[in-house]
Structures are given as C-alpha cells and as structure tokens.
Structure 1
Amino acid sequence: MDNVDLDVLRRVAAWQREGHRVVMGTVTRTWGSAPRPIGSVVAVRDDGSIAGSVSGGCIEDDLIIKARQGELPSDAPALTRYGVSAEEANRFGLPCGGTLELVLEPVTPATRLDELLADLDAGKRVRRELDIASGQVTHSPAKGEDAFEITDSSLISTHGPSWRLLVIGAGQMTQYLAQMARALDYDVVICDPREEYADHWSVPGTTLVRTMPDDTVIEMRPDRHMAVVALTHDPKLDDLALMEALKSDAFYVGAIGSRKNQARRRERLLEFDVSPEQIDRLHGPVGLRIGARTPPEIAVAIIAHMTAERYGFHHVQFEGEGEDENQTASA
C-alpha cells in the first residue's frame, strides 16, 4: 500500500470518529488499461465527500451519487464492476472495452480500521483478510512479498512498508533522498559510522545506524524489494556497502560520483571478489540523466531512477551516459 492509500485510511478513520457512515472501495481486478493499479483505495462518506481515486473522476462521481441516495452497501461488502460495455467504458472514463472491479466495504467496528492504522504507524507489515459475506476482518503479520488476492469468499491484501532503502552516508543529499523515499512509502535506513554526520541526522520516520556499511548490508539481507545507494564519496565506506549489495538480490544498487571515479571504483571492486557481471549491476553515476546539479536535484534523479527500475523501465538513460556533466560539483 502506498502513502496515497494510507492517507485514505486515515481520512476514513477520522470520518468514522465524527459519526459518518463510510464505504471503502478497493480495486480488485482490471481488464484493459486502468487509471490506478489493483489494490488502490477510494472512500466515500454518506454526504458524498470522497477521498482517494480509482479513475479519472467518473467512477467517483457515480459513487458520490449513490452515497447521497443511500444506495451503497451498509451491512456487508459487495462486488461491483464498471465499464463492462464500450458505452459504459466511455461513460465512466475507462478505455473502450476496459473493466474495473471494486469491492465496496462499509466501514463498521468489524473493519478494525483503528487497529490496522496503529500497526502501520508502528512500521509493521500487516496481512489483512476481509470476509466478503460478513465484513469481518482479521489481521496477521505479513511475511514475504506483498499478497493481494480476491476469491469468492475473501479479499486478502498486504499493508505497510514493502520497499526498503539503505543509504550510506548521512549528509545533505541523503536528507532530500530520505524525505522523497518516505513519501513513496520506503522503509528508510541510513548507515553512517561517522560521528560528525550521524550526530546531526534528523529526518523523521527514518532509522539511523552507526555500524560499518558491509555489516549493515549483510544484516539487512537485501531482497528484490530493497535498494542500496552509497552517497559518502568515501571509498572506505561506499565500497564496503557496494561489494555486499552487488552480490545480493537488491533491485537497485547505486553510487554517487563522476564517471572517472566510477571507473576506478569498478577496478577496486574486482579486487574484492565481485564479478564483472555483478559490477555491471552498479548504477554509477547514480540517477537518471536530467542535468542535476544541486543535492535536491540529484535526489530527484535517484528516486526517479529507482522508480523506473521498480516498474521495469530499464531502457531509461541514466546520469552517467554523457560526459561528466552531472554530479561533478559534489563528486
């Protein structure tokens, strides 16, 4: 669940405390193109107020009308589809022939929304199972990769941080990168054993560790939901992290620095039993090639490249494909 949908849940909880009736809608299936992915959440209040989005606005408009007319489910969840025909697809703002399915879930004490939010605020990952017949919800710790499944009897979803980012170095650029990553629902860990940097770290919602970078990477056991970015410019720290991260399943491994510095880095990594194939996984200079100069601009380039890699857009041009025109001021 991304932060956009988490904000919807918080809004729903506030509406419920104010005494409003609320229905949540979760996208469970799509056919053809869809404005938002499976698992996205929308909520509509009894007076038509709405939070979240599942379309360009037309489906939300329909839900608002039904809420004001009292036509949304009030006792138990119900399945509904939009855009079954070409005419309806056009009416509801979906591509011609597209279809979107929602589970509409009235919010009741059985929804256990406050418990879910408390777990999420504590940084826990939660497996949520909704019994479609009764509306009863059960929670359990989420293990492994995200699960999302709809059957005739239940809707299973995973909530909480599923993507992790380890950044080596607690400098100024890391502050911007950490804030952006938190907005994208990454669980962010900062590793910096240097007192002069670590003592002044103050980004809310992140975890600072002072262990050596290679030990930190090994302890975190990077998987396909984790990125490692080295930003210290100190080979004694950055290379320690990279030599372990490049051997792992991390979906993204990057390091700051000019192309000349990256070439020397690759030579050093070969001496640490890192294979040429593993070194080829290194994004260095790190980030998309957008002409970034300042720390926040470079942070944007990094988070954008991580996002592209997450969604399989491996063809994008990265920051080091031209001359040393980027990241040189801070290299």
Structure 2
Amino acid sequence: MDSVDLNVLRSVLEWRRAGQQVVLYSVVQTWGSAPRPPGAMLALRGDGVVIGSVSGGCIEDDLIARLQDGRLAKDGPPVQLITYGVTRDEAARFGLPCGGTLRLTEERVEDWAWVAQLLERCEAHEIVARELDLATGVVSLSGASKSDVVTFDGERLRAIYGPRWRLLLIGAGQLSRYVAQMARLLDFEVLICDPREEFVYGWEEQHGRFVPGMPDEAVLNIQTDERTAVVCLTHDPRLDDMALLTALNSNAFYIGALGSRVNSQKRRENLAALGLSADAIARLHGPIGLHIGSHTPSEIALSLLAEIVAIKNGVAPMQKKPLQVAAP
C-alpha cells in the first residue's frame, strides 16, 4: 500500500470529522499502460478539494468536474463504477498511454468509523484488508498477509493496507534518521536496532520501531524474510558484522553495510575468516547505494533507497565493480 494512499485516508478521516462530504475513488482494474496501480486512491471533498492520485492528472480534473457540473450523484447507490479510456481517443483525452483503460469505484464515505479503525491498525504495524461491497457500500476489515494483493470480482473490492516491506537499520545515528524518513515515504516499516543508548534520543518522531537486543538477535527476532532489507550503518564492525553474520544466511532480499571500497573489502575478508561462505558474502551490498556522487547524509540515504527499491521491484541496479574476497 502506497503511503500516499494512507495520507488520503487520513484526510478522509479529518474531513468527515469536520462534517465535510467526501467521495473516495479507488482504482480497481487497469488495462494497458495505466499510470497508477489497482488500489490507488483519491479523495474528493464536497468543495472540490482533492488529495491523492488515480492517474497522471487528467482524470483527476474530470473527477472534480463531475462534482461541479452535477454528474456526481448525491443519492442513489453508495458505490458506482466509472471507466475511463474505453476507446483509444478517450484514452488519449485522459492521458492514458498506449490505449490504457482505468476502472474506478466512486464511493460516498458515509459511515467513516472504518477509516479510523484501519489507520489505527496500520499505525500498530498491522497489515489490513478492506473489503468493499459495491451493492451495499458496507466496508469490513480483516487481517491480511504480506503476499496478499488487491482483488476485484465485479461485486467486491479487496484492498490491502499497511507496510508489507520492512527495513531493519543497524545503528540509530544521523544517516539512519534520513534513511528512516525516506523509507517511510516509500511505505517501508522501519525497524531500528542499536544497543548504544546514547543514540536513542529523538527517534520518537521518526516513526521507527526499536528492536531490543544485539544486532544478531534483532535479525533473528524479527523473523527476517524475503520482504525484509537489512542495512548496517554504525561504522562499528563489532555491531555491523554481528548483524551481517546472521543476515547473510537469511532470506532478506537486500543486505548492505556502509563503508568505503577499502573497508568493504576488509569486511568481506573478515566475514570469510569468521567462516561465512563465499555465496553468502556475495550477497552483501557494499559500498551501499547507486553511484550518484553522494556526499551528504541525505544524498547517501537517497542513493541507498534507490538501490533497495530497484532490487525490490526486480530491476537490476547499475553494475558495480566486484570486490574480490581473499581466501581465509
């Protein structure tokens, strides 16, 4: 679930609590090259204010126009289906590339208690499914798993909310704070492990969740899986290597450690000396991130997350010159 869409729901809750009328649009099906995936959301307030996105912009303009010219029904069925881009000419009109087609639900948000409940459960790091019955407009919430996807059978829409990707940061220093902020925008659940108490101050507002114990224990305790990235940022090999020895034998899709090329070479040699296999060591990303000439903490964070997102999305990142590991 895109964090942009959670912000849409936060606005829906705020507007309804203030007595405003709200219509919620959700992408349920796409054909061709649609700009936004199923599940993407947009909320339209009664005075024409919008938040969120279901396309590149032109459809948003038409949704506002529906409110202003009276096409948006104020009674009747609580949920309707709207389709854009049925013909190639209409697709071009609404900026849908390659003749794409987009189908949306148009949902009047009357009983908004489910919005508050959903947001509360997401803030508690739960993954939640929202089922919308198109005939009645009734919404029900239930638990979901990381592998669940948006489904629509013509009668019910089932959308998934909450962080399904996780990022474990070893170290709570300045760089970790930048990484955490950006990762949250990319819809990662951010976990932090740092046994050094002096680095904990100020994390309350970063929306990261601390994992107690030493780094190797943290990797085990969170049950690291194929939707987890582990990044070591302490610059202290006693902490970073402790996590790496465990993480490199896990199913994490990305494992990286901060350091120069020279330090990354030394780290690989140390890990080999500690008995880690060559195959496991080959999984380590270091130096971390894509090469963008980064120097500042925010630039390094951007570089790191660009690499993580590329791998998450199945895109091969820019090639790096391989580091050789000396035989132990």
Contact 2:13 2:112 in 1 (8 A): no
2:180 match? 178
Distance 1:21 1:69, change over 3 A: farther
For 2:157, what is the secondary structure of its paired residue? strand
CA distance in 1: counterparts of 2:6 and 2:213, whole angstroms: 32
Contact 1:146 1:162 in 2 (8 A): no
For 1:135, what is the secondary structure of its paired residue? coil
CA distance in 2: counterparts of 1:204 and 1:23, whole angstroms: 31
Per mean C-alpha deviation after superposition, the further-off stretch among 98-107 and 109-118 is 109-118
Per mean C-alpha deviation after superposition, the further-off stretch among 270-279 and 24-33 is 270-279
For 1:296, what is the secondary structure of its paired residue? helix
CA distance in 1: counterparts of 2:65 and 2:248, whole angstroms: 53
Structure 2: 5+ residue runs without aligned partners?
324-328
Per mean C-alpha deviation after superposition, the further-off stretch among 191-200 and 308-317 is 191-200
2:308 match? 306
Distance 1:15 1:194, change over 3 A: closer
Whether 1:122 aligns to 2:117 is: no
1:325 match? none
Q: How far did residue 300 of structure 1 move? A: 1.4
CA distance in 2: counterparts of 1:85 and 1:200, whole angstroms: 54
For 2:34, what is the secondary structure of its paired residue? coil
CA distance in 2: counterparts of 1:178 and 1:120, whole angstroms: 17
CA distance in 1: counterparts of 2:159 and 2:275, whole angstroms: 41
CA distance in 2: counterparts of 1:198 and 1:66, whole angstroms: 50
CA distance in 1: counterparts of 2:248 and 2:278, whole angstroms: 10
1:226 match? 228
Contact 2:122 2:162 in 1 (8 A): yes
CA distance in 2: counterparts of 1:122 and 1:12, whole angstroms: 19
Q: In the TM superposition, what whole-angstrom CA distance separates every residue of 1:115-170 from its partner, at most 9, and x where no partner exists?
A: 22222233332111111111111111223423311112211111112121111111
Counterpart residue identity of residue 266, structure 1: R
Contact 1:193 1:212 in 2 (8 A): yes
For 1:44, what is the secondary structure of its paired residue? strand
Counterpart residue identity of residue 6, structure 1: L
Q: How far did residue 278 of structure 1 move? A: 2.2
2:241 match? 239
CA distance in 2: counterparts of 1:138 and 1:197, whole angstroms: 41
The residue correspondences of 1:149-228 to structure 2 (distance < 5 A) are 149-198=151-200, 201-228=203-230
1:326 match? none
Q: How far did residue 202 of structure 1 move? A: 4.9
CA distance in 2: counterparts of 1:199 and 1:39, whole angstroms: 37
CA distance in 1: counterparts of 2:197 and 2:19, whole angstroms: 50
Q: How far did residue 42 of structure 1 move? A: 1.0
1:24 match? 24
CA distance in 2: counterparts of 1:255 and 1:174, whole angstroms: 12
Q: How far did residue 210 of structure 1 move? A: 4.2
Distance 1:134 1:273, change over 3 A: farther
1:108 match? 110
Counterpart residue identity of residue 186, structure 1: F
Q: How far did residue 77 of structure 1 move? A: 1.4
Q: How far did residue 45 of structure 1 move? A: 2.4
Counterpart residue identity of residue 149, structure 2: A
Contact 1:27 1:103 in 2 (8 A): yes
Q: How far did residue 46 of structure 1 move? A: 2.9
Contact 2:249 2:280 in 1 (8 A): yes
Distance 1:111 1:132, change over 3 A: farther
Distance 1:8 1:85, change over 3 A: same
Q: How far did residue 255 of structure 1 move? A: 0.4
Contact 2:232 2:243 in 1 (8 A): yes
CA distance in 2: counterparts of 1:157 and 1:84, whole angstroms: 24
Q: How far did residue 195 of structure 1 move? A: 2.9
Counterpart residue identity of residue 260, structure 1: V
Counterpart residue identity of residue 120, structure 2: A
1:63 match? 63
CA distance in 1: counterparts of 2:137 and 2:162, whole angstroms: 21
User: Which one of the candidate residues 288, 291, 294 is aligned to 1:286?
Assistant: 288
Per mean C-alpha deviation after superposition, the further-off stretch among 140-149 and 158-167 is 140-149
Structure 1: 5+ residue runs without aligned partners?
323-331
User: Which one of the candidate residues 130, 134, 137 is aligned to 1:135?
Assistant: 137
Distance 1:201 1:7, change over 3 A: closer
Q: How far did residue 269 of structure 1 move? A: 2.0
Contact 2:172 2:199 in 1 (8 A): yes
Q: How far did residue 199 of structure 1 move? A: 5.2
For 2:97, what is the secondary structure of its paired residue? coil
CA distance in 1: counterparts of 2:204 and 2:25, whole angstroms: 37
Q: TM-score, normalised by structure 1?
A: 0.90
Contact 1:194 1:210 in 2 (8 A): no
Q: How far did residue 39 of structure 1 move? A: 1.2
Question: What RMSD, in angstroms, separates the aligned Cα atoms of the two structures?
Answer: 2.1
Q: How far did residue 110 of structure 1 move? A: 6.5
How many positions carry a matched residue from both structures? 321
Distance 1:274 1:202, change over 3 A: same
Per mean C-alpha deviation after superposition, the further-off stretch among 172-181 and 212-221 is 172-181
